[in-house]
Amino acid sequence: MTRTVDDHAAAVAGLLHPLAARPVEPVPVRLAAGRRNATEVRSPADLPAFRNSQMDGYAVRAQSIADVPVTLPVDATVAAGAVAAPLSAGAAMKVMTGAPIPAGADCVVPVEDTTRQPDGHVRIERTRAAGEYVREQGDDVRAGALLVPAETGLRPRHVAALAAVGLTQIEVYRRVRAVVITTGDELTPAGTPLRPGQVYDSNGVALATYLAADGVEVVTVTHAPDEPERLRGLLDDAATRADLVLTSGGISMGDFEVVKATLQPLGGEFGHVAMQPGGPQGLSVLHGIPVLSFPGNPVSTVVSYLVFARPTLRTLAGLDPVAPRTLPLLGELNSTPGKRQFRRGRIAGHGVEPVAGPGSHLIAAMARADVLIDLPADVTAVAAGSDVRVWAL
């Protein structure tokens, strides 16, 4: 079967959609950024919790400074965190930012509008109305009011609000748990000597790194040789420990396509997507667990993940989507007819310049890029200066 990129992306999203119903777990508020909360959060307290000063200055009654300049005695100095005694009639009280407003005061005169006298009095040069520079109790949020809606992707700003009302824990969805399985007799781990015909396994590291950045807990990264029995054992084990399995390699038209040979008899769908790189793709469900199977060339693996898995996984994690940008092309590009091509590019000034060629093995060249240039399937040539859509790597 041959699908468009959009059709296959929709199929992947449908396969991953049930993961939205993951269990809920409590986490400390300080660790909640990047998670998605399961229930709405209502404030347990007023914020601010008490009337306090917005400025360093002098708390007074507005009536006492109706005619300025005026000199008032200073009852005391109140620091943030202190308790203020009531204000005497016709007096002022020096207050720091965040300090409680003393009973009897209704405004604050900023210190820059005053002059402290040698005898300890304060000369006030400017009048202020009642309420000026006073933070009223609950004027940010009232106890019982909605603080964070359910299903919110929590950001540092949410964490700050949760901490400000005294919360230490929040209920969030458990992270999606994933197992990555790379395949192929030719792969060997980095740090070991290469034998003739072997290459280092970069796909496992790449997929695990992208998964972690997209809010997924990577349970393990492992490797299977071109032996269906060995791969089946790893897949069965992964299904007991993860919500999602990603494989790379073994799904094309060769003689040793171990992933396709293992999963297709179990109902897995394998075919071609009209894109370059990343044409071969596979979707399966094993023991109720979705399995996304990507081609094995390093760039094909990464592009497949970014195009098909990243959007849904970021949504499940509560992270912001990676939105495309439109930039002028600094150079020229040709594209294969009938295939949506994802070329590597680098932002330069106000445009994007192509990086290297279309080859799916050019992983070092990909390190020099910071975006994918998205060329539609019906485009065969793009002239310099033309607008192109790009996606951040």
Q: How many CB atoms lie within 10 A of CB 253?
A: 9
pLDDT value of position 198: 87
Q: Which one of 301, 317, 333 terminates a domain? A: 317
Q: Evaluate if residue 141 carries a pLDDT over 80.
A: yes
pTM here is: 0.85
Task: Name, in order, each residue with C-beta under 8 angstroms of 309's C-beta and a sequence gap of 6 or more.
Answer: 12, 16, 246, 292
Predicted local confidence at residue 262, as pLDDT: 96
- pLDDT tens digits along 195-220: 888 888 899 999 999 999 999 999 99
Confidence (pLDDT) at 135: 97
Of 254, 282, 317, which residue constitutes the final position of a domain?
Answer: 317
Region 258-266: mean pLDDT is 95
- Do residue 375 and residue 387 come from a single domain? yes
Q: Same structural domain for residues 302 and 167? A: no
Q: How confident is the model at residue 360 (pLDDT cuts 50, 70, 90)?
A: low
Both 249 and 299 in a single domain? yes
Kindly state whether residues 185 and 258 are assigned to the same domain: yes
- Give residue 16's pLDDT: 97
If one counts the domains in the chain, the total is 4
CB 192 within 8 A of CB 43: no
CATH of the domain at 81: 2.170.190.11
Same domain, 221 and 336: no
Q: Is the per-residue pLDDT at 336 higher than 70?
A: yes
- Residue ranges making up the domain that contains 150: 24-44+142-173
pLDDT of residue 66: 95
Q: Kindly state whether residues 244 and 297 are assigned to the same domain.
A: yes
